[in-house]
Structure 1
Amino acid sequence: MKKKLVPWGVFQKTPAVLKRFLLLGTFFGILLAPLGAQDDFGFGFDEEGEGEAPAPVSSLVPGIRIGGEIGAELVGYVYNFIPENFPGALGNIFSGKLNFSASGSNADGVINLNLRPVFDGSRSPVELDEAYARAYFGSFSIEGGLRKLTWGKADSLGPLDVVNPLDYRDLTAMSDMQRLKIARPLVHLSYAFGDFSKLEAVFVPWFEGHRFDTTGRWAPVQVTEMYSDLPLAMEDWLYQSGASPAAIISLMGVLLAAGPFSVTPPDTSTLDYAQGGFRFTTTWASSDLGFQYYYGRLPQPAIHIKGLKDYPNSSEGIHPQLTYTPYHQIGVDYAQVIRGFNLRAELAAHITEDLSGDDGGVYNPFLAWSLGFDRDLLWGINLNLQVNETIRLLQHRLTDNIAVDTEAGKKPTSTRLTGILSKKFLRDELELRTALIWGLEDQDVYILPGLFWTRGDVVLEFSGGVFAGNRQGELGQYRDNGFIKLGLTYTF
């Protein structure tokens, strides 16, 4: 019997959760009260998609500038502060950025560094975020290096923004899309036709998929359960396909003797994984239009059990592998202001090599679209709303066994609503903002309320995050990861 999901039934325990947040918030408030008493402190929030370096304050030599930010941030997870799970941790307090830029008569260069404390020596405290050079020749420009490039017009992860994969290892950063992006080595060409039209081309010589944790707080269930589910699914498939019990026992014995079940990842640093595309944007009447073609690899991996369907007649044996599905994308986007609504829309078709829908090691072709707007409402309240959806084609050809079909058991559509409601006070220094991400099919939600105070170059933040809904959903699985954040950032 299928369990009926009650979308908002999970909030029946809200009072207990609120009590935990209040206790943790009081702790933070006492800890940082001396900071809030200073007149020079403020509270702010970076807009989504902002990737430009802040205004520099110093020049080393003519044409070379340096800027960045220094921050102190405390993040407390509510689940760790209830008695049975105490003590909790507040994470690494310090973080920072250094942005270097150099300009010449027809060229410029940028190096952006992320600074993160490392106390166990496991990695360098300095990480390269972006590093690229750009040259101008009239209407033509060329840039190359490690780059985050935004395509499309959607505010939040539209289907046309495909050049950079995303880092999902810390979902407390979901309010900053630019921070989630992983810079890729690329060559980017651009040619302007007058003032309103532009043709772009990009070439990415090798590939990287989305990054996920395999253990710990932010490890998705789809990853952690894969290693336990796959052997059982393989055994079930072999029984159904008529393999002899002796052959099945022999295979499972070999797998168990090899130790923990593992899946071989591919080497994606070769030209076999090169990607590229073209994009043309123009203005027609009062509308901004874009047309795009891109060839690449889907950033989410697929599972392929090589030799399983032919076992025991396969001479090469059985080898579980991770693969990244190649695809062609054809897309269009549109933006226009109508009666105070800033409208944005994107539509894309993704064509994979599984045109019959029966290749379990390859993702099916699918459509993707987004529609959104932002508008000032009453009393200075601003609303930014966007809907994203993917629609899998040839859904009826999927099987129900993950060992032979990487999309087994998945719904034909995935729809997500993203909304941001904000209001500013005190000459725009104080901002109250709430962001919401709602998965419609899974009936789960991620809510990020926040209070931000900006004074000059200093930002003070008091925010949090709450996951709720179906525990089997992409968001609801993190219901124990509710958090409170206090941050102080100085931009120079």
Structure 2
Amino acid sequence: MGTKVRACGLVALLSGLGWLGPVQALDWSSTLALESAYSYESGDWQKNSVTWRPQIVGRLGYGTKVTAEGLVRVDVEDNLDPGQPSQPFRARDSRAYFPNDLTDLELRELYLDHYLGSAFIRIGRQQIVWGQADGLRVLDVINPLTYREFIMPDLEERRVPLWSAQAEIPVSGWTVQLVWVPDGSVTESMLPGATYALFEDPFDGQGEFRVNRPESGRQGDGGLRASAFAGGWDLTLNYLFHTVDDPLVQVDPVAMVTTFNYNRSHLFGATAARAFGSLTLRGEIGSESQRRYAQAGYQGWQSTRETSYVVGLDYSVSGDLLLSAQLFQRWRHQADADLERHREQLTFLARQELMNDALIMELLTIYDVQDQEALSQLSANYRVSSRWELSAGGDVFSGDRSGTFGRFHDSSRIYIGAMLSW
């Protein structure tokens, strides 16, 4: 019933745009991707999927544009998000639809772009991206993430689009962006049974999981960003009042209940980037007024103010080779003996373009300093023609099996794929 209501709502929304005038142009594009991933440590197929992504862009009167993008995916292995999940981490109107165990349908994006004088407005289901860091999030926290394939896909694929609104207004050499997000969806952790489940079931299927996420509309997020180019620097100043999407997990052994709780926080931050010839320096910093962490046994918690930053250096060795390194540090200001005061991660990226950019090879490594563990990703993408692209690669986890990366040692994989665009 809920799916029918959402479908009718989308039709009503598109029909209601008629007051902006008739459709002046309609552009259609689509991609069809075939992907297979094999976990060589366990000897199991992780996925064998077909994904269709249609997109329609309609241009209306008065410079208005409407964009809609959908996703239809069939995965015959059904290991990454088994069955027909209830999606407790998503608000009702942001959920996918699972007609059976192997198929999921999702409205990825549906938004309207419009100019009011010099102000730009976008309203609808969308991604709003902040920050300068590659892969590591400091300020890029407006949209929650899905951990369906942990952190292997690009951030654009892992962000959960939200129903939201943004406006960009030029003010005295600056561009001020106002953001409002009434959607109550939070980071989508895979529950026990999935390949990349982040939490183990302490009650072996006999207990209950509860997700106390914020209520859509009444507990929305809001913020602003001011950006400018000054003295050769790209600068931004950021503020966001939001729900911290990463959960505080608590376990009640008597009631046999595992609860995911969330807290509200003020996030203040800034970014800066500048190119010095073939060298680019990037920096990003953010300070949360409150983050909550579970204590041992998940039966208590502590609260702390937290500051995170990323410093990145990109070096273009030639027009075809890029080397990049980043240092990420998280500093907890009120940590007690059960919580580490600080944590660091290092990233290294090498990207080589060959054959007139038809072939792109990339190596990305993320290393956790405290746990001495890593995720290494090697990929190759070959554009056969303007429509066909082939890909292959591997994702390798290393480190102690109790760590963030090492726990997925047996899920290290190799993969191949093909994508058709039209």
TM-score range, shorter chain: 0.7 to 0.9
Which residue pairs with 2:412 in the alignment? 482
Match runs of 1:153-164 below 5 Å: 153-164=132-143
Given that 2:72 and 2:104 are in contact with CA atoms closer than 8 Å, whether structure 1 keeps it comes out as yes
Match runs of 1:241-320 below 5 Å: 260-304=206-250
Given that 1:148 and 1:183 are in contact with CA atoms closer than 8 Å, whether structure 2 keeps it comes out as yes
Which residue pairs with 2:323 in the alignment? 383
CA distance in structure 1 between the aligned counterparts of 2:52 and 2:283, rounded to whole angstroms: 35
Given that 1:147 and 1:186 are in contact with CA atoms closer than 8 Å, whether structure 2 keeps it comes out as yes
> Using a 3 Å threshold, how does the CA distance of structure 1 residues 434 and 267 change in structure 2: closer, same or farther?
closer
Number of aligned residue pairs: give it: 371
Pick from 182, 191, 207: which aligns with 1:214? 191
Matched, 1:121 2:100: yes
Identical aligned residues as a percent: 19
Counterpart amino acid of 1:290? Answer: T
More strand by share: 2
Once the two structures are overlaid, the 10-residue window that deviates more, 373-382 or 179-188, is 373-382
Counterpart amino acid of 2:28? Answer: I
Match runs of 1:406-417 below 5 Å: 409-417=338-346
Which residue pairs with 1:3 in the alignment? none
User: What is the CA-CA distance between 1:217 and the residue it aligns to?
Assistant: 4.8
| Secondary structure of residue in 1 paired with 2:45 | coil
Given that 2:47 and 2:75 are in contact with CA atoms closer than 8 Å, whether structure 1 keeps it comes out as no
Which residue pairs with 1:188 in the alignment? 166
CA distance in structure 1 between the aligned counterparts of 2:190 and 2:256, rounded to whole angstroms: 26
User: What is the CA-CA distance between 1:362 and the residue it aligns to?
Assistant: 5.4
Counterpart amino acid of 1:302? Answer: L
User: What is the CA-CA distance between 1:300 and the residue it aligns to?
Assistant: 1.1
Given that 1:442 and 1:472 are in contact with CA atoms closer than 8 Å, whether structure 2 keeps it comes out as no
Which residue pairs with 1:110 in the alignment? 67
Unaligned runs of 5+ in 2: 1-22, 77-98
> Using a 3 Å threshold, how does the CA distance of structure 1 residues 360 and 352 change in structure 2: closer, same or farther?
farther
Pick from 200, 211, 218: which aligns with 1:224? 200
Which residue pairs with 1:137 in the alignment? 116
Given that 1:207 and 1:273 are in contact with CA atoms closer than 8 Å, whether structure 2 keeps it comes out as yes
Matched, 1:322 2:260: yes
Which residue pairs with 1:393 in the alignment? 333
> Using a 3 Å threshold, how does the CA distance of structure 1 residues 287 and 462 change in structure 2: closer, same or farther?
same
| Secondary structure of residue in 2 paired with 1:159 | coil
User: What is the CA-CA distance between 1:411 and the residue it aligns to?
Assistant: 2.3
Given that 2:179 and 2:224 are in contact with CA atoms closer than 8 Å, whether structure 1 keeps it comes out as yes
Matched, 1:93 2:71: no
Matched, 1:348 2:286: yes
Q: TM-score, normalization: structure 2?
A: 0.80
Counterpart amino acid of 2:343? Answer: S
Counterpart amino acid of 1:431? Answer: I
* 1:426-462 CA distance string (max 9 Å, x none): 2222222111111111111111112221133221111
Which residue pairs with 2:181 in the alignment? 204
Which residue pairs with 2:20 in the alignment? none
Pick from 49, 58, 63: which aligns with 2:25? 63
Larger radius of gyration: 1
User: What is the CA-CA distance between 1:412 and the residue it aligns to?
Assistant: 2.2
CA distance in structure 1 between the aligned counterparts of 2:319 and 2:249, rounded to whole angstroms: 51
Counterpart amino acid of 1:460? Answer: L
Pick from 334, 337, 342: which aligns with 2:272? 334
Root-mean-square deviation over aligned CA pairs: 2.8
CA distance in structure 2 between the aligned counterparts of 1:285 and 1:89, rounded to whole angstroms: 52
Which residue pairs with 1:422 in the alignment? 351
Matched, 1:463 2:393: yes
| Secondary structure of residue in 2 paired with 1:479 | helix
More helix by share: 1
Given that 2:314 and 2:322 are in contact with CA atoms closer than 8 Å, whether structure 1 keeps it comes out as yes
User: What is the CA-CA distance between 1:391 and the residue it aligns to?
Assistant: 1.0
Which residue pairs with 1:36 in the alignment? none
Q: TM-score, normalization: structure 1?
A: 0.69
Counterpart amino acid of 1:479? Answer: H
| Secondary structure of residue in 1 paired with 2:166 | strand
Counterpart amino acid of 1:144? Answer: I
| Secondary structure of residue in 1 paired with 2:289 | strand
* 1:264-320 CA distance string (max 9 Å, x none): 3225234442111111001111111100110111111114579x9xx9xxxxx9986
Unaligned runs of 5+ in 1: 1-60, 82-87, 229-258, 312-316, 399-408
CA distance in structure 2 between the aligned counterparts of 1:283 and 1:382, rounded to whole angstroms: 24
CA distance in structure 2 between the aligned counterparts of 1:214 and 1:281, rounded to whole angstroms: 39
> Using a 3 Å threshold, how does the CA distance of structure 1 residues 64 and 380 change in structure 2: closer, same or farther?
closer
> Using a 3 Å threshold, how does the CA distance of structure 1 residues 380 and 303 change in structure 2: closer, same or farther?
closer
Counterpart amino acid of 2:70? Answer: L
User: What is the CA-CA distance between 1:197 and the residue it aligns to?
Assistant: 2.2
> Using a 3 Å threshold, how does the CA distance of structure 1 residues 362 and 111 change in structure 2: closer, same or farther?
farther
Which residue pairs with 2:155 in the alignment? 177
Which residue pairs with 1:449 in the alignment? 378
* 1:312-358 CA distance string (max 9 Å, x none): xxxxx99864310111011111011124211211111110288xx9x
Given that 2:52 and 2:72 are in contact with CA atoms closer than 8 Å, whether structure 1 keeps it comes out as yes
* 1:364-418 CA distance string (max 9 Å, x none): 210010111222126942112222221111112x5xxxxxxxxxx4422222222
Which residue pairs with 1:371 in the alignment? 311
CA distance in structure 1 between the aligned counterparts of 2:279 and 2:416, rounded to whole angstroms: 33
